[in-house]
Amino acid sequence: MSESSRVVVVGAGPAGVRAAAALVAAGLRPVVIDEASRSGGQIYRRQPAGFQRSAATLYGAEADKAVAVHSAFDALVGKIDYRPDTLVWNVYDGVLHTMCGQRAESVQFDSLIIAVGATDRLLPLDGWTLPGVYSLGASQIALKAQACSIGSRVVFVGTGPLLYLVAHQYVKAGAHVAAVLDTTPLSTRIKALPELVSRPGTLLKGMRYMMALRRAGVRLEAGVTPLRVEGKHAVRGVTVELADGKREQFTCDAVGLGYHLRSEVQLADLARCRFAFDNPTRQWLPEVDEDGRTSVRGVYVAGDGARTLGADAAEISGELAAHAALKDLGHTIPAARVADLQRAQRTQRRFAIGIAHAFPLPVRQLEKLPDHTLLCRCESITAGELRRAVKELGAPEVNRAKALTRVGMGRCQGRYCGLASAELVSATLGVPLEQAGRLRAQAPIKPLPIDAESTEDKV
């Protein structure tokens, strides 16, 4: 292995931390870049300086794991080239393009481990752009980072484990949660139970959250169809069709909305990794082998950025990706440890497929979306405009629809509307989602300051 091989890890969540630790243990000094100010990633997000909550208050049942990941990262200080507050906005030809404040830089790499996690998966709903509607992730960030509730009477709508977890965290923190409205019917969840028993502890934890919510007087409804968020200038309530077909309006001043997570795949796309369609999660994901190797030599993807398997799996896949990078650089790696990690990852994967079956995306909801509903918030594109682009202008897939309507062309670069747009193209054409394609990533993947200073040298 060359002494000067440079391994760069993007992301300091559980996957990035474990990748960096394995690289350091092998004698390397990796570069670790994260756009956040502190390590920990999403689930183990650290509170801002000056906040005094204990790990148990912040992370609940996950406190020990959070402390372990934080300690592992803190032990790396001085042994890694850590660059917090630094966004990676492009990858091209063995070079990362970064932005730290106003300062733009280029970072060369021999091996790149992309561990950038996931973000909320959203489905548009009439009224979802009103002030007071938050994604589930944002609702949790308000609580974890700032100890704030998104409202004084909150309703959570969507599906997936995060729906119940965030509602439970709100109740525990003393917030008033009026209802949790799940789009998945109870029967669908029960059918998936045999797949979920591969991780009985996690399954039990989910059930405990639901029981605690009931005990706290939170109304739990399954099999609902969300119709609209009510209000003119602010949220006044949310109207849904219940499983028995009756309509009901739930009064609230804030809505937390979310349907699982979507892997952050733009950097892998810009690095020209090959993608494959994943049926259970209805997403295109970078193709990786068991250790996180992509189709591009020297590029690895780990954690939720490869597939949303959760924090435990992120730690496993981060370490696996580091071993893969080390092996490909000519290092000897601990074969028995790698085999154990691979085995553990398979179990996590089985469970994740069970979760996808237990809480499927309610795509029928999109078929019924009124034409006037905003689909792309950044560019103010409605569902009707996208349907017209498909039906009248002949867009056969989502990239053509983007060119014709500007859907996904704004600040979020399709990170929030891209999957829903593809679903709507597929529903309008009556073709499988796979055929509606995926929005291709474009740099910069996130907004940059226009007055940035650029450094000529690659660092």
Ligand X SMILES: Cc1cc2nc3c(=O)[nH]c(=O)nc-3n(C[C@H](O)[C@H](O)[C@H](O)COP(=O)(O)OP(=O)(O)OC[C@H]3O[C@@H](n4cnc5c(N)ncnc54)[C@H](O)[C@@H]3O)c2cc1C
Compare residues 388 and 446 and give the one whose CB is closer to ligand X.
Answer: 446
Q: Is 311 exposed, middle or buried (0-12, 13-18, 19+ CB in 10 A)?
A: buried
Binding site for ligand X (CB under 6 A): 10-16, 33-36, 41-43, 87-88, 115-119, 137, 140-141, 165, 261, 264, 303-305, 310-311, 314
**Smallest gap, in angstroms, from Cβ of residue 393 to ligand X?**
33
CB of 3 to ligand X, least distance (A): 27
Residue number, 165 or 383, with CB nearest to ligand X: 165
Closest CA to 228 of 169, 304, 332, 155: 155
Least spacing, CB of residue 303 vs ligand X, in Å: 2
Beta bridge partners, 9, equal 32, 113
CB atoms within 10 A of CB 27: 11
Q: What is the nearest approach in angstroms of ligand X to the Cβ of residue 225?
A: 25
Angle at 206 between CA 203 and CA 212, to 5 degrees: 140
Q: Which is nearer to ligand X, 26 or 142 (CB)?
A: 142
Residue 88 or residue 181: which is nearer to ligand X going by CB? Answer: 88
Least distance from C-beta 265 to ligand X, angstroms? 11
- To ligand X, the closest distance from the beta carbon of 448 in angstroms equals 11
How many whole angstroms separate alpha carbon 176 and alpha carbon 181?
Answer: 15
CA dist 110 and 90 (Å) reads 16
Measured in degrees and rounded to the nearest 5, phi and psi for residue 135 equal: -75, 160
| Closer residue to ligand X (CB): 185 or 206 | 206
Nearer to ligand X, 10 or 252 (CB): 10
HEC secondary structure over 18-44: HHHHHHHHCCCCCEEECCCCCCCCCCC
- Token code pair at residue 282: 């209805």
Q: Hey, which bits of 122-224 come out as E strands?
A: 133-135, 154-159, 177-182, 219-221
